[in-house]
Amino acid sequence: MALNSSHGRPQGQTTLYGEGLHLRALNVEIGSDRYPQADDSFPPRIAHWRCNLTALSQRRNLLFVACSELIYVWEPAGGSQTLGPKPEMIITPVIKEPRGQGYIQPAFPHEVNSILVDDLGREEVLLLVTDSGNVCGYRVEAIFSALKRGGESGKAKPLDGSEVDPFFLEYVGASAWGLAIHKFARLIAVTANTGLVTVFAFALVNSASGKGEETVSQLEEDDEFTDYGQTWLHIRTSEQFKQLRHLMPERHRTRNIKLTYTGHFSNIPSVTFLNCDLDPNGTWMVSTDIDNKVLVWKVWESLGPFNVYYFNDVTFRAFPNTLRNDDRGWSVLALDPRTFHFLKSTEEACGGPPQRRMKDGQAVLDLTKLNNRVPDASLIYHYFPPAVKAEPEETVLPDIFGADCLIGGSGGEWETRNPEVPYSNLGSDSADAFSHQAVDGSVRVDHLSEDSASDTGTNAENQQVSNHQGRLSALVDEDEADTTVPPGHGPLTTPEFFQFALLEALGGDVHEVEALLGENLAHESDEDDQYVEDQGMPDADGDPFDSEEASEAEATAYDVFDPPVNSDFPILHFSHTDIRLIPHPFASNPSVVCGHPLRQPFTHPIASIRGFDRFNMVKYVPEHGIIVAASQKGRAVVITLTESKAFGRSFRVDWIVPQESQEKYGERPLVPLLGMAVSPMQGFEVPPDIPYIPRNSEDDDSSLVFQFKETSAPSTSHIHLDSETSGLGSRSGSASGSDSQPQSQDQTPRRSTLPECHAQATRAYQPEESWRGWNPSRRYRLLLLYTDHTVMSYEFWYTWNFTLSAGRGAVGDSSGNGGGDGDGVIGSEDEYLIL
């Protein structure tokens, strides 16, 4: 069931693709400029074939980069987010099990595989996992305080991070990869190559619970329970878990508990919690493995999975022309349903008319063919060699009396053509020398991801001609290994090249491509899809889901399978190249799919990024309803979470970075991506968490006391809320009238847990922020760090200045503090992003 906004969209306002979301490039800091060879400066050693090795703090201006076995701490400077050659601090992580063996490089077993910065309780923490299976955690505020003390005492940089003590040290037995944190429930999840998911549940001190100590003492008397390292109570078996549930039914933990979950049988690169106030006790967890399976867990109900999705199974291969059948799972996210932007139609929510398919009698939206609508995104990389950007002339004082003076006038030609995208004035040598070594000889399709550049000796004049009229010897395609350039063709002309490119992309023959080019390229047809049962499905150019009949039918289906409030959350899954949206944990199939949004054939094979095409870096920005997902091949996609009344939740691709306007000048290095990080810009940092969590019995706040009702078995039309969702509100129309009547004989007051109190206090806590009142939304920065130490930085933000219909006035309060707006007034913050 769609969770719609309480405000409708202003009448008379036409929604445009990407409306409201702005993105601009800030700077390109070339790695060879940061560490020039002439200065004999040696860059940090990089570990390859890892997951995300960078993270930004949301509360402090700190960037963490994992370089081999060390953590480098930087402070991005200025609006261009410059790093420079020297970090602020270097941290050597403490290792709990020094004898742990490495999986990727046995000679360097303690190299970092992944890092994560997120809130744990009221504190922001940095977590890292190593190839030897060690896990280490630091408090971000402790690192910031050490930097501040070092600056005040005049210590030389980089500072020694040994003075910062870790708060968390563990070992999970084998190479560790996935990391997740639940803020309110104080949970840390770690996945490893053992096929196990380990959850560390920190103690929740709650004086209102009178049987916490008794519970722990009973558990410790059992010889089967292991007191792990005098710190954790380790729950391994189902019998132990049943005893834990029986003795601690209200989740008032007064002891650290370690739980081991089984269900995967291969490496697990990603795990996530439903980390929001809808699930304060940390009930839901989701993970994915390299067999492309997605497992949904109920943390406090079983050590086995609640639901399993086999995306490589034959039953899921309904769209062979869209999704890969031999894929691997790399990232997964559990999403807050309130962060979806509500739009008028399905076409607006998807960024264009999607292909509508059927799977097991349910509608599935296929967004693959909408990928070519993304602005300033290249579909084919053919900038060999890159164009030369005009260097600015030497700065001289202008003649203010001259006829050609531009003071007070419009900018130059470049600024006029590119008013929204400021780039740095760096030369064309932004990509390193290795990236631009040409590979001679014939090019086969199986080398698409083995891209390289052409000879650097070609001059700039020839480049300008080749961009528009040059001949290309081949089109490289990694997904069609047996396809080569058609025989009898010599060097392709530009029309032939694009015709052949469309042929490869659409999977048809030349005549079909010509027909599409000549008549209906904007309205692709699904009639040739022999794998999809689309009988009775409407054409793509209409929006059948907007009809009343379709809406009523879909609403009826949702009424039957309407999950509880904290169970109605979507899951976004990323594989090597594809994206799937699962509407909720009870769904049998994904409802929205998008195949290969970052697909980009190269006209020359580049060996440096061969085999790195994988979505193994994702960052969720709930405040803006945005997800940034990066492929290690070197690009990232900015996804907006959307929702329409007709279909429900969906998503659309709004931006792809680096942009084409950067690639053609060689600003994107053709080397693997080291990491991707997202955080607020300087001056827009997230304020500190709530200073106090009211939870004692003396607190005179009835909103913190939950009433739990015993209910009968769920009916066929709805599912009742259980104890873990009590106090979070009921779903509209999900319970019958008799269920809402008080039952005094069964009603017993239940003191809320610490996570529930924290979640409620967080919802009510609205600290003052200096940027409110003069900026429409919080501005975020996106940093892409490459293995050659090049840094590409971007900024994105939202503007909510929608014009009201006639007779209703203009935009109202811009403070965004959630105050009560008067009738006819709409705040400048997003009225369709429910938070």
Paired strand residues for 167: none
Residue 327 CA: distances (Å) to CA of 81, 319, 370, 632, 675? 36, 13, 21, 16, 22
- SS3 assignment for 709-765: CCCCCCCCCCCCCCHHHCCCCCCCCCCCCHHHCCCCCCCEEEECCHHHHHHHHHHHC
Say if 449 falls within a structural domain: no
Q: How far apart are CA 350 and CA 343, in angstroms?
A: 10
Say if 432 falls within a structural domain: no
> End-to-end CA distance of the chain, in Å?
18
Residue type, 548: E
Say if 722 falls within a structural domain: yes
Number of structural domains found in the chain: 1
Q: How far apart are CA 328 and CA 805, in angstroms?
A: 48
Structure-derived torsion over alpha carbons of residues 78, 79, 84, 86, reported in degrees to the nearest 10: 40
Q: Which candidate, 14, 782, 703, 778, places its Cα nearest to that of 343?
A: 14
Say if 298 falls within a structural domain: no
Q: Which domain holds residue 720?
A: 702-764
Residue 702: phi and psi, rounded to 5, are -65, -20
Spatial CB neighbours of 756, under 8 Å, sequence gap ≥ 6: 184, 280, 281, 704, 706, 727
Name the H helices within 197-354.
Answer: 212-220, 238-247, 346-350
Q: Which candidate, 182, 144, 178, places its Cα nearest to that of 50?
A: 178
CA torsion sign for 539, 542, 545, 549 is negative
Residue 567: phi and psi, rounded to 5, are -110, -5
- Taken as a whole, the chain contains a residue count of 835
Say if 213 falls within a structural domain: no
Confidence at residue 226, expressed as pLDDT on a 0 to 100 scale: 39
Residue 460: phi and psi, rounded to 5, are -70, -35
Confidence at residue 404, expressed as pLDDT on a 0 to 100 scale: 52
Q: How far apart are CA 355 and CA 353, in angstroms?
A: 7
Are 93 and 130 a contacting pair, CB within 8 Å? yes
Confidence at residue 71, expressed as pLDDT on a 0 to 100 scale: 97
Residue 817 CA: distances (Å) to CA of 118, 471, 770, 821? 24, 58, 12, 10
172-212 tens-digit pLDDT: 999 999 999 999 999 999 999 999 999 999 988 643 444 44
Say if 650 falls within a structural domain: no
136-161 tens-digit pLDDT: 999 999 999 999 999 999 999 999 99
User: Which position has the token pair 């264009």?
Assistant: 352
Q: Collect the ranges in the chain with pLDDT lower than 50.
A: 1-18, 206-229, 406-407, 409-491, 506-560, 697-745, 801-835
User: Which position has the token pair 């349903």?
Assistant: 337
Strand order in the sheet with 159-160: 54-56, 63-67, 70-74, 89-91, 159-160
Confidence at residue 245, expressed as pLDDT on a 0 to 100 scale: 86
Confidence at residue 502, expressed as pLDDT on a 0 to 100 scale: 52
Say if 415 falls within a structural domain: no
Spatial CB neighbours of 788, under 8 Å, sequence gap ≥ 6: 31, 32, 432, 435, 669, 671
Q: How far apart are CA 776 and CA 141, in angstroms?
A: 28
> Which two three-digit tokens encode residue 471?
């001949």
Say if 569 falls within a structural domain: no
Element of type H or E holding 557: helix 548-560
**Residue 699, Cβ neighbours under 10 Å: how many?**
13
Considering only CA atoms, give the Rg of the chain: 28
Element of type H or E holding 307: strand 307-310
Confidence at residue 359, expressed as pLDDT on a 0 to 100 scale: 83
Are 271 and 180 a contacting pair, CB within 8 Å? yes
> Which two three-digit tokens encode residue 40?
């004999």
> Which two three-digit tokens encode residue 485?
């350039």
Residue 216: phi and psi, rounded to 5, are -65, -40
**DSSP letter, residue 519:** I
Q: How far apart are CA 821 and CA 814, in angstroms?
A: 11
At residue 242, the 3 state secondary structure works out as helix
Paired strand residues for 182: 187
CA angle 747-250-246, nearest 5°?
105
Q: How far apart are CA 176 and CA 104, in angstroms?
A: 11
Spatial CB neighbours of 100, under 8 Å, sequence gap ≥ 6: 109, 110, 130, 132, 133, 134, 171
Are 136 and 127 a contacting pair, CB within 8 Å? yes
